[in-house]
Chain A
Amino acid sequence: MHELSIALSMMEQIEQESAKHRGTVRAVQVRIGALAGVDCDALRFAWEIARAGTPFAETELEIDQVPLMVRCPQCGETREAEMFAIACPRCVTPEQEILMGQELELRSMEMET
């Protein structure tokens, strides 16, 4: 499971970003796309392990799961797609443009002084 590596990368990033501001980080908000290849439960679990004994031991992880959104280049239809059924149901064009769903993003931090 690479969620621990991801949690550790997140921690480093939070360390760098929070050093630019005063106060402690109460919570962090991350966006995880359906197609990011990350298991959100595993990430929550990994975060518990990663934060223990660090200055972020109390920092809550808030995950915003982003659905896979695609646009059909043929008919222009924009819709939410299942990961394993991407083709356009309207005009059966197989190749779709991915608009959203690959995010693996540290969106924001909630800080208090």
Chain B
Amino acid sequence: MTPRLIEVRANILKENDVLARQLRQRFKRAGVCVVSFVSSPGSGKTTFLEKLMGRMAARHRIAALVGDLATENDAARLRRACPQVRQITTGTACHLDAKMVAAALEGWVLEELDYLFIENVGNLVCPSSYDLGEQMRVVLLSATEGEDKPLKYPTIFNTADVAMITKMDLAVAAEFDLEAARRSILTVRPGMRIVEVSAKTGAGMAETVAMVEGLRVRAQAGC
């Protein structure tokens, strides 16, 4: 028999995309603003999030999901800033997916939240293909990493909405070339919003809070 060619034309991660779309609608209905964070391991993501949540916790109802490989425990650190934190242990998987997020939300009343932060597993490659239903995806690059990193990981910079340069307090000591880093980001993703922060000195944190709060205001206005 001659083989027949059967057209499928479906996204390989269709199941994740469908689930992520449902999550996005659910978040929207509940009025919760969802922001996810991706970075390399050691970019200071957890410290940054702890500080961000600490600044926002007094005025807003916040929860967080943290994707961890089995050996880490970032969730315990985030609980210092806000009690509603759940850990998602991904086992061998190097990224979160929509299914894991949906399962981790079990029992939480989303309507009682203003913000949900999702900390992805430290990895700049794998998370890029998986939509989590978030409203905004932030990619973090620290001043102790190479300025050309965005050129090596163009996909994640293309799927994120905002780039954040962390550990700016170490920029001088690390001989970090901020302009070169900005150029790399804008080369792979022209027009991308870039925020420079230091969780340690607090620089850029107010701008970050304003950005995240602005996101929720815009969502409520229906834009």
Contacts and interface: CB of A to CB of B under 8 A. Distances in A.
Contacts of B190: 86-87, 94-96
Given A37-B155, A83-B154, A87-B187, A106 B129 contact: no
B14 A13 contact: yes
A108 B5 contact: yes
A74 to B, nearest CB: 12
Nearest to A18: B6
Contacts of B154: 35, 83-84
Interface string A87-107: 100000011101000101111
Contact of A112 (B1, B12, B16, B129): B1
Contacts of A13: 8, 10, 12, 14-15
Q: What DSSP secondary structure best describes chain B's contact surface?
A: mixed
A112 B4 contact: yes
A40 interface: no
A2 interface: yes
Contacts, number: 109
Interface residues of A, number: 38
Contacts of B97: 5
Contact of B188 (A26, A83, A104): A83
A66 interface: no
A112 B5 CA distance: 9
Interface in B175-191: 186-191
Nearest to B191: A95
A27 B126 CA distance: 26
A109 B5 CA distance: 6
Contacts of A6: 12-13, 129
B167 interface: no
Contacts of A77: none
Given A83-B188, A108-B6, A2 B1 contact: no
A38 B187 CA distance: 20
Contacts of B162: none
A113 B6 CA distance: 13
Contacts of A52: none
A12 B5 contact: no
Contact of A94 (B6, B12, B155, B191): B191
Given A2-B129, A86-B189, A110-B4, 7 more contacts: A5-B97, A13-B8, A27-B3, A30-B12, A84-B154, A84-B187, A106-B11
Interface of A: 1-2, 5-6, 9-10, 12-13, 17, 21, 23, 26-27, 30, 35-38, 83-87, 94-96, 98, 102, 104-113
The 10 tightest CB contacts between A and B, nearest first, are A94-B190, A37-B155, A2-B126, A83-B154, A37-B128, A112-B3, A84-B151, A95-B190, A110-B3, A109-B6
